[in-house]
């Protein structure tokens, strides 16, 4: 199985901050990488697919980059509604695997 790691595991930030989360795959996955946002008690929300493509309706303050083994999710200007846990997931090979998550709080 491909192992996914994320860093940091948690971070504290303020409204207006630029935040970057890193995701690393244990082997190359091309651009088969997705990002999800999950708020407490809610289902995950899909943000990005193909490492850098925004899902429909996702605001442009979210951006993704990377290819191969190293990827980043950036939130350009953190807003109160962005405080959540963020997960990456590879879908290059079965079983698809999620990273452990990064919790973004104040």
Partner 1 sequence: EVQLVQSGAEVKQPGESLKISCKGSGYSFTTYWIGWVRQMPGKGLEWMGIIYPGDSDTRYSPSFQGQVTISADKSISTAYLQWSSLKASDTAMYYCARHHEQGKGYDAFYMWGQGTMITVSS
Name the burial class of residue 43, with classes exposed (0-12), middle (13-18) and buried (19+) by CB atoms within 10 angstroms of its CB. Answer: exposed
Nearest distance from C-beta of residue 89 to partner 1, angstroms = 7
Distance of CA 92 to the CA centre of its chain: 16
Say whether residue 86 binds partner 1 (CB under 8 A). no
| Contact with partner 1 (CB under 8 A) among 20, 38, 63, 69 | 38
Judged by CB under 8 A, the stretch of 19-27, 62-70, 71-79, 94-102 that binds partner 1 is 94-102
Report the C-alpha gap between 90 and 13 in whole angstroms: 26
| Contact with partner 1 (CB under 8 A) among 60, 80, 95, 106 | 95
């Amino acid at each position: 199985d491909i192992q996914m790691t994320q860093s940091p595991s948690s971070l504290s930030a303020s409204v207006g901050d630029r935040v970057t989360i890193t995701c690393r795959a244990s082997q190359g996955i091309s651009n088969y990488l997705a990002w999800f946002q999950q708020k407490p008690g809610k289902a995950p929300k899909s943000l990005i697919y193909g490492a850098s493509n925004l899902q429909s309706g996702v605001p442009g303050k979210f951006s993704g980059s990377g290819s191969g083994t190293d990827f980043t999710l950036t939130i350009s200007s953190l807003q109160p509604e962005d405080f959540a846990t963020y997960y990456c997931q590879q879908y290059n090979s079965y079983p698809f695997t999620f990273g452990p998550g990064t919790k973004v709080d104040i």
